[in-house]
Structure 1
Amino acid sequence: MGLKIEHMILLWSLLLIPVLLVLFWIIQAGRRRKLGRLADPALVAQLMPNRSTVKPVIRFIFFLGGLLFLLLAVMNPMIGTKEKQMKTEGIDVIIALDISNSMRAEDLKPNRLESAKAAVDGLLNRMGDNRLGLVVFAGTAFTQMPLTSDYNAAQIFLDDISTGDIPAQGTAIGTAIELATRSFAETEGRGKAIIVISDGENHEDDAEAAARKAAEKGILVSTIGLGSTTGSPIPEYRNGTAIGYKKDRQGNTVMTKLNETMMKQIALAGKGIYVHGSGSDVGLDAVMSELGKLQKKEMDEVKYSEYDSLYPLFAFIALCFFVIESLVSNRSYQWTARMNLFNDKKNTAK
């Protein structure tokens, strides 16, 4: 059963739910403290017999439920209703993207990392039947996204990448190539390639050896070098505000340079090509053009030709939650209040 979301970017709006939960808890706790300072809780209960402490919580739960389903409805999730077996022909490409601090350098605008992300985002619209994966690296490496042809999901994973994702700093290109190599399925006859996008300041491992091993397995390793060979300072930020440039222990501004020699050696060992990243595509188009010569293999893939929108269902559920929320009063039921009053009179008579 296939499921896709038309407006994936709106997934971020779901963060509103936990934010509202925290705000509600803070407000309720503040009210309890204020009432506690005014009078004893037992006296407050006598003075405000109709006040309910449970009803506001119940109302808020129904409100949150309504908001959740409303947000889901606006995203327009769709469920596949008609399967179709399709033949797809393409290659598998994993992009290994450097997210070390040096990628904040602004010799490419707005900076090296954002330029690379924009280029990969543009590539997604031209992937055709090719599959794409993402590996990110700094002092170590991890898989950001496994091989997929779901480019809507790929855009979400791509947008989420930042230089703060890996605390361990460095540029472990070899580790990234090894991880990418292990990520490929054992599919005979289907072209496989790794594209390393980095400034090449490798201080961690033997990237050439990793590229050579990948090439021995039939995986081409191409590289794109980002940045200037003359060097550029690395901006530093605090709470999103620029506070200057990174400095060494002697107080000198650290300059990060493109190590073009290293990037060329990796591409040579991996039997791929090297491109100096420039322009809006940072050289990706040139690399993909070269990869177009790789052998393509047909694969059977189940795709859905018809989808039904879940918008009406989720919108109806949201409406039900909001209606119930509006019917729940913050006051106690009148008959319970009368019962308490009746009991008080009997106790007084005794």
Structure 2
Amino acid sequence: MFQLEYPWLLLVLPLPLLVWWLLPPYGERTRAIRVPFFDELARITGQTPSRGAVILRSNWLRRVLAPLCWALAVVALASPQWLEPPVQRTESARDLLLAIDLSGSMATPDFVDDRAERIDRLTAVKSVVDDFIRRRTTDRIGLIVFGTNAFPQTSLTLDHVAVRDLLQELRVGMAGPQTAIGDAIGMAVKMTERSQQRERERVLILLTDGNDTASRLPGEKAAAIAREHHIVIHTIGIGDPNAVGENRVDLDALKRIAAATGGRSYRGENRQQLADIYALLDRITPSKVKHSIYRPKVKLYYVPLGIALLLMLAYHLLMLGLVAPIRQRRTARADAAPGATEA
């Protein structure tokens, strides 16, 4: 579709007519040389002197091309453009962070896989989380690992293949033997505050099998900070609440952390329950995307401007071709006139 970006500029089209109508003609006084043989010069050149002002000659072609070139220049200023068909752009409207505990207790082989074989907790978690990531096609996903310390394994990205590959590289103890839940939440806050789009929804799914024994920032304090940054935290506890020390999962603390941010807390005792939890989270946090429609614009101002320049150039070349022979003929007649001096 064709349109003008600044159609109001067409209002200046009648400006030359207003100038011609309202302003007096341009006049200029020049000095003349008085010679006693003026009549002889007029006769030799073939010109007839007359009284009054000298008015430059015009022609019908100039009268046509002048307003046409003016109209083309005004149309170019109005910025004509061609609108391409609408293009719909879809982009993620959610930052989804997955925090996974890699403390020493994650090596406990108390889960069973699909073949009824015993596997450790981390292996079961990686299998379930990998399937969860595969279904989240439109979210920006980031991966956080924590033990004694918390680290970003992947930044927030739409490259889910890379996230799944790095997920499989996780090993028990690579972040230290203890558990730092508060630091993992703090890492989530740092990763999302760099997001340029403040309207994104932010969700953290935190999985652990122990209690917070190594955080420099207490878990509930970190949850309060996360709430201020509009992060919803869902917690999953897969450890034994009746164990002692590092191996005891503090389900009450996980519930308080989730409740503080408007999230939910779950407990998974086996691989199937863990898979059901992630399936539930997939349903309660459906993929959220933002649609925007824009139409590519092709600027066409150079078309009328180029036509005007070509018309002006063609006119001057035509006039040059017509005037030069006339001047040559006049010069030849002047040289052949009686009384003309020889070179």
Conservation of the 8 A alpha-carbon contact between 2:132 and 2:282: no
Superposed counterparts of 1:38-57, under 5 Å? none
Secondary structure of the 2:156 match is: strand
Aligned counterpart, 2:252:
261
Is 1:212 aligned to residue 224 of structure 2? Answer: yes
- Aligned residues between the structures: 194
Is 1:91 aligned to residue 101 of structure 2? Answer: no
Aligned counterpart, 2:279:
285
Aligned counterpart, 2:108:
105
Tell me: CA distance 1:95–1:162, structure 2 relative to 1, closer, same or farther (3 Å): same
Q: Distance in 1 between matches of 2:283 and 2:200?
A: 17
- From 152, 155, 168, give the equivalent of 2:161: 152
After superposing on structure 2, the runs of 4+ consecutive aligned residues of structure 1 that deviate more than 4 Å are none
Greater relative contact order structure (CA < 8 Å, 6+ sep): 1
Conservation of the 8 A alpha-carbon contact between 1:211 and 1:270: yes
Aligned counterpart, 1:52:
none
Tell me: CA distance 1:282–1:226, structure 2 relative to 1, closer, same or farther (3 Å): farther
Is 1:190 aligned to residue 193 of structure 2? Answer: no
Q: Render the CA deviation track for 1:306-344: whole Å, top value 9, x for unaligned.
A: xxxxxxxxxxxxxxxxxxxxxxxxxxxxxxxxxxxxxxx
Aligned counterpart, 1:123:
132
Secondary structure of the 1:165 match is: coil
Secondary structure of the 2:126 match is: helix
Q: Render the CA deviation track for 1:282-323: whole Å, top value 9, x for unaligned.
A: 62122232223x9654489xxxxxxxxxxxxxxxxxxxxxxx
Q: Distance in 2 between matches of 1:125 and 1:93?
A: 13
Conservation of the 8 A alpha-carbon contact between 2:138 and 2:289: no
Tell me: CA distance 1:198–1:229, structure 2 relative to 1, closer, same or farther (3 Å): same
Q: Distance in 2 between matches of 1:281 and 1:172?
A: 24
Tell me: CA distance 1:138–1:228, structure 2 relative to 1, closer, same or farther (3 Å): same
Flag the structure with larger Rg: 2
- From 208, 216, 236, give the equivalent of 1:224: 236
CA-atom RMSD in angstroms: 2.5
Give identity over the alignment, percent: 29
Give the partner amino acid of 2:283. S
Taking structure 1 as the reference length, the TM-score comes to 0.51
Is 1:275 aligned to residue 266 of structure 2? Answer: yes
Q: Distance in 2 between matches of 1:151 and 1:138?
A: 24
Conservation of the 8 A alpha-carbon contact between 1:212 and 1:269: yes
Conservation of the 8 A alpha-carbon contact between 1:201 and 1:258: yes
Give the partner amino acid of 1:218. H
Q: Whose strand proportion is higher, 1 or 2?
A: 1
Taking structure 2 as the reference length, the TM-score comes to 0.52
